[in-house]
Structure 1
Amino acid sequence: MKDSVAKYKIFNSKLTTIVSISMVLFLIGIVVLGLKIGDTLSAYVRENYTISIEIKDDAEEKDITTLDEILRGQSYAKKVAFISKEQAIKDLAQEMGEDPVAFLGYNPLSASFVVNLKSEYTDNDKIEEVVKTIKEYRIVENVFYQKQFINEVNHNIHKVSVLFLIVAGVLFFISFVLINNTLRLLIYSDRFLINTMKLVGATRSFIRRPYLKKGVMIGIIAALLAIGYLALFGYVMRDQLKLFVDYSDHSIYYVVAGSIIVSGIVISWLSTYFAVNKFLSREEKELYYI
């Protein structure tokens, strides 16, 4: 009867530890997901930034086609759209509510290309290099882009990223402390056993080994539970998250799940290591007052 009660208490203690750690790892998963969403939003904002390439009025059709093919093949181009003179004046007439040609007698607009840049090219130094290269084509009249706008976008993205990283760092630290305290409480009941093994001559590494294995196993199980919580969270919140998360992009699953598993193993191993070392370094009489 006593053995059954003892086994139940041990099982209940381990279960409580695993559930507690899994909740902390779930929080880590939310943070990693938030960082991934932030990165996606940053790329989305940057890649909606465009440069406009004005084409000379005397440019021949074949030269325009050639430039179109060249632009589409460039590493900096996310998307390229050609707007003819006719389409440009038509769009302007729709915006104004009247046709400028009717009172000017001619089409004052030029054909142009609108290029969406890839996010890694949306800083002013790289944009200036791109613009300089584009201006070398003889049919290009001018290239327009909003320098001040991209400065403000990059500045705001940098501020938000730094703030989010600080919050993430604080949460990771809190997570480590919580997991460390939880595992230390689990090992606390074995403090006299650890001392006994030390007294009979067992080496520190020998004493630590079974606890480290147990700690890692607890970390893995807790991580798998946390991944389950996160999967359920993603399913319940799918309508809200689909605005920010591409569910068809499997890399996000690997990043988040991998972060949770690695965090569970590493933090549990470190916490167990420090907890066992704490009791190894104490004399027997000190163990009564810890």
Structure 2
Amino acid sequence: MTNSFDSFQKRRLRSSYASVIISIALVLFMIGILGLIVLKSTKVANHFKQEVVMSLFFKDEVTKEQITTFREELSKEVFTRDLVFISKEDAAKTYSEDLGEDFLEFLGTNPLKNGVDLHLKAAYVTPEKMQELQEKFSKNVFIADVSYDKPLVEQLTKNIQKISFWLLIISSFFVVVSVILINSSIRLSIYAKRFNIKTMQMVGATKRFIRKPFIWQSIQLGIVGAFLALVGLAIVIYYIDQNVPALELFKDYLSLTYLAVGILTASFIITWLSTYFATQRFLNLQTNDLYY
């Protein structure tokens, strides 16, 4: 009879552990998917920002040597991602191809200027910072004019802010739901051991001593759940990478590292806190209250 009861308890315990692991894995998997979307949306937004061009046009009296020196200094600036020099001859050729006729034959002279197409780092593609750069370059003795698509930058910034806001709202919602679900699973598993907790407390064990094995066990279950979630994410990422190679998911090692570390960290923190408060609740209960 005792052996049958022990076997039943072991099966019940294993079932409880399995449910906790599955719950943690599913929740962390969903968080991982959302994290992937957030990381890739940021990269996509930065890609569009870095495609914005600020054109700097040199005065006619500026020599090639001065232009070369200016370009070398500009390439070292913290806001510069890359730059392309466009001579007035190349600009005229491109303009003629766009028009479908050689406008130089009609004008007789080339009215265009030597210039540089400057691509900024994403952090500097905002209306305020680009305005500051425009004012800075306009004061340079070599620069005749500065041009960029101001309405495009403003619209791009507004759209990115809107998307970021809603992603933040959705992310916060998922985080709250995930914490509640994992907390509920862990509390149910500890609830089954509430009498053991109270017995240990009655024989003189300290709260810290009682909590320690429960917290460690929950962290282990959380890590197992996190690895299962990462396996699921790896499968999804592989599938997306095969069908949408333009996203280059598997080549984005930095984002994938952030994602993996974030999931493992979230698993550790949530399971630790949930177990701490769950055990604390039963430690503070009176013996009679354990039956309700």
DSSP-derived class of the 1:237 partner: helix
Q: Which runs of 4+ in 1 moved over 6 A?
A: none
Q: Which ranges of structure 2 fall in alignment gaps of 5 or more residues?
A: none
Match of 1:108 in 2: 111
Contact 1:55 1:142 in 2 (8 A): yes
Paired with 2:166 and 2:252, the residues of 1 have a C-alpha distance of: 26
Moved more, 211-220 or 91-100: 91-100
**Equivalent of 2:78 in 71, 75, 79:** 75
TM-score normalized by the length of structure 2: 0.92
Match of 2:98 in 1: 95
Paired with 1:80 and 1:198, the residues of 2 have a C-alpha distance of: 70
Amino acid at match of 2:59: K
Q: How does 1:85-234 map to 2 (within 5 A)?
A: 85-234=88-237
TM-score normalized by the length of structure 1: 0.92
Q: CA deviation at 1:245?
A: 4.5
DSSP-derived class of the 1:243 partner: helix
Match of 1:266 in 2: 269
| Overall identity of the aligned pairs, in % | 34
Paired with 1:241 and 1:197, the residues of 2 have a C-alpha distance of: 56
Alignment pair present for 1:51 and 2:60: no
Contact 2:19 2:185 in 1 (8 A): no
Amino acid at match of 2:103: P
Alignment pair present for 1:34 and 2:53: no
Alignment pair present for 1:239 and 2:247: no
Paired with 2:250 and 2:42, the residues of 1 have a C-alpha distance of: 15
RMSD of the TM alignment (CA)? Answer: 1.8
Q: Which ranges of structure 1 fall in alignment gaps of 5 or more residues?
A: none
The Cα offsets for residues 188-236 of structure 1, whole Å up to 9 and x where unpaired, read as: 1111222222222322222211111111111111111111111111111
DSSP-derived class of the 2:83 partner: strand
Paired with 2:101 and 2:256, the residues of 1 have a C-alpha distance of: 51
Paired with 2:22 and 2:239, the residues of 1 have a C-alpha distance of: 21
Moved more, 13-22 or 162-171: 13-22
Moved more, 103-112 or 114-123: 103-112
DSSP-derived class of the 1:80 partner: strand
Moved more, 115-124 or 200-209: 200-209
Contact 1:194 1:279 in 2 (8 A): yes
DSSP-derived class of the 1:78 partner: strand
Moved more, 126-135 or 113-122: 126-135
Contact 1:40 1:244 in 2 (8 A): no
